[in-house]
Structure 1
Amino acid sequence: MTSSRPPVSYDDAARLYCIIFLVLIVLLGSFTNDEYLIKKINPAVGQACDEIYVVGEGETVHTISDKCGDPFIVEENPHIHDPDDVFPGLVIKITPSGRRN
């Protein structure tokens, strides 16, 4: 008794595997979070920082703002009169943009 199905060619099998692979990539891409991808590519961007932050050696208001995701550090910390006048050990309040009211 012989089979009634025609044999599958290598081209058809390769095409099928490519389609399955592309569908999986699209599905996996729809489940990822853009913020996760940004942090994965550049972990220093948007890191979660504690609400109370102690300035470290070599840090500036700009670098802390980028690191913690808070563009309003000077406005929220009235004791910082000059953004260029931060020093190691200075305590500042951090409110990342995602937690703003």
Structure 2
Amino acid sequence: MHAIVVLCFVAMANAAPQLVPYLHQEIAAEPYVHQEIAAEPYIHEEIEAEPYIHIEPALTAEALGVAAPVVATGYAGAPIAPVAAYPTGAIAVAGLCRNNLGAAVPCAL
């Protein structure tokens, strides 16, 4: 644990800014020279619009609501038999039904 603390202090000491005196150096700036660039004049051109032509796409069987036949594709996993953990639906027990906790409650049929 002490080694980690010592290594952290070493890393902080190496990351600290080094004290180097600032030495200002003048750099000669280039003077601004304005250059005129010949521009092309604007010429307006009217482009004729194309007329709108509506093309109705052909509809597929799925778009028309025709269902494709269901083909059984074999399941690659192990077959699982349906197991009823508890009976579903309303079970009348002396005029009462069972809720999700298994308690007998009045039936709401």
What TM-score do you get using the length of structure 2 for normalisation?
0.20
Q: Which has the higher contact order (CA 8 A, sep 6+)?
A: 1
- When Rg is computed on C-alpha atoms for both structures, the one with the higher figure is 2
What TM-score do you get using the length of structure 1 for normalisation?
0.22
